[in-house]
Structure 1
Amino acid sequence: MRQTLTEIYDARVAEGTLHADAAQRALLPLLETVRAGLEAPVAKPGLFGRFSRQRPEAVRGLYLWGGVGRGKSMLMDLFCEATRTPKRRVHFHAFMQEIQAKLHEARKSNVQDALKPVAEEVAASVRLLCFDEMQITDIADAMIVGRLFQTLFDLGVTVVTTSNRVPEDLYKNGLNRQLFLPFIEVIRDQLDVQEIESETDYRQHRLQGAQVYFHPIGRVASEAMNALWDELTGHDETTRLVLNVKNRDVVIEHFHNGVGRASFWDLCGRMLGPGDYLAIAGAVRVLMVDDIPHLSSSNFNEAKRFVTLIDALYEAKVRLICSAADEPERLYTEGEGSFEFERTASRLREMQGAEWGAERAG
């Protein structure tokens, strides 16, 4: 028998996999309405079916916004898992990177309007798009996003998305923002905009006062990292986060609801640059980095990349959890670059603060 989203939520609370939250529960009927519209039988073509619309109309979607850790992604995942329709759940940043890559390929064929076939390709495979963390920071995305989504809606695609910002604050103070404003109208026209107001910030609550820097590398540090990972992800299955940066894939092997995890060598042992680290910092709220070694002239290039990574995470207010060979001040004590590393060590100390990243809301 089909369970409602509220019944699924209550069952998970009863079994202890979710904490009851009145603000979260109040939003479930809105998601249930979207689900019911998507699962409703589609009328079959009649006598003149060949002239009929090829796809059902888009169901009015939902734009769920609020501060970090309010449970937005959890609610969207619950909805997405339970809804029986062709669907895709994807981080918004990763989706837009895919769209830009497809547009680049489409333009090679000298098509008059590259966006239309790209949108049609998306609409051919899904009826529901679930986006995590809608945000616009790139001018290239800002210039196309309004027409892209209007085309998707016209093709019958329904969107449910989370965001840390009210629609009017998307791409705030961005270059040529007046060209972006029609997208806000599209959101308001096609999606119900709803704030989730909860006194509980689960992600910050879980980390508040917790140790987030573990040394030396070894069994104890590894067990502590694994325990925090399980706590932050709720023991849920994780996915790979794939970010397309200048037509290259930058991969975080383990990712769930804004929390990413990778080893030092995955992040700094490969030839990644500032743009790659900025993309990672924009895509995660919490990053766990395993096994940071002692740094010296023997791994100078890796050390330089680590400094760039920390700078990107610091500026983006990303919560950092890591295991390392030593305390920050003793990670890099000799060789070229050791003096400059003092700033990185200072930032690593600051990022261990209980409130670090709490103010990041978008």
Structure 2
Amino acid sequence: VSPAAPAREPVLRGDETTERFAAATAALRLDDTQRDAVTAVLGQPRAGLYLHGPVGRGKSMLAELYLATFDPDTSLRLHLNELFRRLQAELIREWKAPAIVLRRLLGPVRALLVDEFHVHDVADAVYLSALLEVVAEDRIVLIATSNYAPHDLMPDPKLHERFLPAIERITAELGVIAVGSGPDHRALGDDGRATFVSGRWTITPGIPASPTPGVPASALQIDGIPLHPLEMADGRIAFDFAGICDAAVGVRQYQGIADRFETVEVRGVPDLAVVRREPLMRFATLVDVLYDHDVRLVVTSAAPFERLTDAEAPPVDSDRVISRLRALRG
């Protein structure tokens, strides 16, 4: 068991927080179920929030508005993938209990927004359980968004029982609020990701199912893993599908690309319905990372992106990926 940090005063939601959130949301054009969620936020007594619901329903927007009601000098927003990347990098450098490393990473943070909560494997469960422990013991306001209701967070029945204590902590300590069904605001292009949605998905018939990698322009190393882009200049980087999704790369490399470049081009994307499971998962992760960093994505493919759902083993959360790709121009 990791030692708790020194006791700190809790950050409580007061009248000023409520008034700021009410004013910020009153200026928005919200649909009925979004407005219901706002009313629920204003009426719940807890400082922390867990907003869940279908893709494209404005959960991140509402969460960011809520985070903005707290002191910006001690507030932090992270996508779950980014949080895991930072945590794993520290654990590789020096093995410590995840809770100890999280406290070091969060430092003075008093209000934390974590986007896209999910628990798909044992590592996810360990890290999120540690996060819930830290925010509870250190009295940090946690604001989480997810496509999953708390009791659906660990869909694998073999592992679900092990995550029940964490689920119970979420439901006991956070205000759990559903953002119900309605229009997909990502597809309508009004989700605030102005650069990502300026990208394109262009269908070019004749791309083979397993495209041959082109001749790389030069090597690029991110966290010790070499990448081989086809082109790299002026804030733009281009890969072929095989080079960026068949290769043994992962979220840390995609995060590094998003940090360095304004536009990412992926050429020669085959019909996603016939792509193997691992490259398909990497492609979905790449889309998630570029979307979260608001990096322009330009794709040339043999088929529409909706074919992703026809694959033999579609990625987990494929609905979210499709929703994000719908925001691209045709």
Q: TM-score range by the shorter chain?
A: 0.5 to 0.7
Asked whether the equivalents of residues 136 and 142 of structure 1 are also in contact (C-alpha less than 8 Å), the reply is: yes
Q: Give the 3 Å change call, closer, same or farther, for CA 349–78 of structure 1 in structure 2.
A: closer
Q: Match of 1:350?
A: 307
Q: Match of 1:360?
A: 319
SS, match of residue 171 in structure 1: coil
Is the aligned partner of 1:190 residue 2:173?
yes
Q: Match of 1:23?
A: 33
Using the alignment, how far apart are the partners of 1:293 and 1:67 within structure 2? 30
What are the within-5 Å matches in structure 2 for residues 238-257 of structure 1? none
Using the alignment, how far apart are the partners of 1:206 and 1:177 within structure 2? 36
Deviates more, 1:191-200 or 1:311-320: 311-320
Q: Give the 3 Å change call, closer, same or farther, for CA 79–323 of structure 1 in structure 2.
A: same
Listed one character per residue, the Cα deviations across residues 198-253 of structure 1 (whole Å, up to 9, x for unaligned) are 4222123459xxx953379xxxxxxxxxxxxxxxxxxxxxxxxxxxx988799xxx
Is the aligned partner of 1:180 residue 2:163?
yes
TM-score for the superposition, normalised by structure 2: 0.58
SS, match of residue 214 in structure 1: strand
Asked whether the equivalents of residues 143 and 179 of structure 1 are also in contact (C-alpha less than 8 Å), the reply is: no
Asked whether the equivalents of residues 111 and 140 of structure 2 are also in contact (C-alpha less than 8 Å), the reply is: yes
- Unmatched segments (≥5 aa) in structure 1: 14-18, 38-58, 217-244, 251-260, 296-305, 329-344
Q: Match of 2:217?
A: none
Is the aligned partner of 1:311 residue 2:280?
yes
Offset of residue 71 of structure 1: 0.7
Using the alignment, how far apart are the partners of 1:106 and 1:25 within structure 2? 46
Match of 2:70 among 83, 86, 95: 83
Offset of residue 346 of structure 1: 5.0
Asked whether the equivalents of residues 64 and 194 of structure 1 are also in contact (C-alpha less than 8 Å), the reply is: yes
Asked whether the equivalents of residues 250 and 282 of structure 2 are also in contact (C-alpha less than 8 Å), the reply is: no
Structure having the higher Rg: 1
Is the aligned partner of 1:6 residue 2:22?
yes
SS, match of residue 202 in structure 1: coil
Offset of residue 193 of structure 1: 1.0
TM-score for the superposition, normalised by structure 1: 0.54
Asked whether the equivalents of residues 61 and 158 of structure 1 are also in contact (C-alpha less than 8 Å), the reply is: yes
Deviates more, 1:181-190 or 1:142-151: 142-151
Asked whether the equivalents of residues 137 and 174 of structure 1 are also in contact (C-alpha less than 8 Å), the reply is: no
Asked whether the equivalents of residues 277 and 308 of structure 1 are also in contact (C-alpha less than 8 Å), the reply is: no
Q: Match of 1:61?
A: 48
Q: Match of 1:151?
A: 134
Q: Give the 3 Å change call, closer, same or farther, for CA 116–80 of structure 1 in structure 2.
A: closer
Using the alignment, how far apart are the partners of 2:169 and 2:139 within structure 1? 14
Using the alignment, how far apart are the partners of 2:58 and 2:264 within structure 1? 26
Asked whether the equivalents of residues 274 and 308 of structure 1 are also in contact (C-alpha less than 8 Å), the reply is: no
Higher RCO, Cα 8 Å, sep 6+:
2
Offset of residue 81 of structure 1: 2.5
AA of the residue aligned to 1:73: S
Q: Give the 3 Å change call, closer, same or farther, for CA 28–248 of structure 1 in structure 2.
A: farther
Q: Give the 3 Å change call, closer, same or farther, for CA 205–81 of structure 1 in structure 2.
A: same
- Unmatched segments (≥5 aa) in structure 2: 1-15, 191-198, 205-221, 228-234, 270-274, 292-296, 322-330
Identity %: 22
Using the alignment, how far apart are the partners of 2:304 and 2:248 within structure 1? 17
Q: What is the aligned residue count?
A: 250
Q: Give the 3 Å change call, closer, same or farther, for CA 83–247 of structure 1 in structure 2.
A: farther
Listed one character per residue, the Cα deviations across residues 259-294 of structure 1 (whole Å, up to 9, x for unaligned) are xx974339876798344279969xx9xxx9755557
Listed one character per residue, the Cα deviations across residues 151-187 of structure 1 (whole Å, up to 9, x for unaligned) are 3211111101100001111121165443222111111
Over the aligned positions, Cα root-mean-square deviation in angstroms equals: 4.8
AA of the residue aligned to 1:360: D
Asked whether the equivalents of residues 106 and 118 of structure 1 are also in contact (C-alpha less than 8 Å), the reply is: no
Is the aligned partner of 1:115 residue 2:103?
no
Q: Give the 3 Å change call, closer, same or farther, for CA 293–95 of structure 1 in structure 2.
A: closer
